[in-house]
Structure 1
């Protein structure tokens, strides 16, 4: 699979790298109802601060041409660098707030492991008899365009074409993403949280916000119920994905050169 064919998957998997890198984090951290607006404000503040402070730069010296091999499939340097730069930018913004230097060696290992996990999932999805009908591809493409605030799928495809991807390549990768979604859904099973689980997540969020003493009013349960449900569903999918990747990696022929 060439870099060009994986470009869209890299785009789709923007959050996936963080998901696998956080494999060791405890369940409480995953389940907590963090306020997304607070995180956005922090990132915006970090962005403003970065204008006054020199932002650190990603150190890509010494990255090998082949970062890893997964059952004979190569993960190339260019693909790794594309993902690493995005993750480093996020970490650098956080470091501006915390004052803690980015551990680039650790981040490189996390990104490499995450790309290995991504490749293992792709290979596993390809080995199962999942289908990706055209109507599902069209729907997924609309979702991707909407997520990136592009007015239409035609405009989205045009932007991707400018990046060197034909419509055929895009639709192939959208089909792969659909199969991955089905793979994760099958592994995760019923991810619908119970009312008790949602209320527990709310209580955790409320306790953390009160402990922070930031003066912000804790939103009512009904106001955040749906968002908490989504977070809990994502957590269950994350746990299932991590477990699957771990099992696949134990049986796979994997070499990481970082």
Structure 2
């Protein structure tokens, strides 16, 4: 599923610290486990939305509706269900529902703060964000990204509205967090963590085909590491803003 929902801005805040180069690592994990688990794979679980109230949460008087929650939850569920199948661990849907609701509350707080500060989003900024989102979803262009979202049932007006909000939220985060550009020291630390994880995986591999020769060099990984570390720092900065807003907000979650 192609992701755009603003709630995904907060999705990585809870446990992203130790996983550098995660997209490649996940791909390698999947390839290593695919053959051994193919015969054991169970049918993909389905999202359980029974008992979700019509109003999932209220944030300073603004409602997060069942329809909004279900749309976001299904996207989060699909990602987590795939990870659950790969790891062999059972997916706790009650926990995921609460995490999704908390994420949506955080996003609503950010949107309210953005609107209070009257941030603007230019067409150029919107276009650049669309290109970044296309890359994150492994699509070659913003047009392909828009087409994919439309195929999932989103209307262009809704897409552009969410992208504009995302641009404004990025401005809020940048204003509050200051310079979050990764340093060389942070990138090398992230690479060392990734390398250590890969070496451990190779050591534990039954095939025994691993080794340092299979691990990309720092220079080859640098671009990916930079994106990863920047996302981690953005996530921490975002969560800090949300925590501050939450302290003075009137929030009720009905799950």
How do residues 38-57 of structure 1 correspond to structure 2 at under 5 angstroms? 38-43=25-30, 49=38, 52-57=41-46
Unaligned runs of at least 5 residues, structure 1: 1-7
1:95 aligns with 2:88: no
- Superposed displacement of residue 163, structure 1: 6.3
Residues 159 and 232 (structure 1), Cα distance of their counterparts in 2 relative to 1, 3 Å cut: closer
How do residues 156-235 of structure 1 correspond to structure 2 at under 5 angstroms? 167-212=156-201, 213=203, 214=205, 215-217=210-212, 218-235=215-232
Partner of 2:20: 33
Distance 1:187 1:50 in 2: 50
Residues 132 and 203 (structure 1), Cα distance of their counterparts in 2 relative to 1, 3 Å cut: same
- 1:235 match: secondary structure: helix
1:251 aligns with 2:209: no
Distance 2:22 2:47 in 1: 29
Distance 1:63 1:72 in 2: 19
Tell me the TM-score normalised to structure 2 length. 0.81
**Which of 159-168 and 112-121 deviates more?**
159-168
Residues 154 and 57 (structure 1), Cα distance of their counterparts in 2 relative to 1, 3 Å cut: closer
Unaligned runs of at least 5 residues, structure 2: none
Distance 1:38 1:169 in 2: 33
Distance 1:156 1:97 in 2: 27
- 1:101 match: secondary structure: coil
How many residue pairs match? The answer is 244
- Superposed displacement of residue 51, structure 1: 9.0
Q: Is the 8 A contact 1:70 1:255 kept in 2?
A: yes
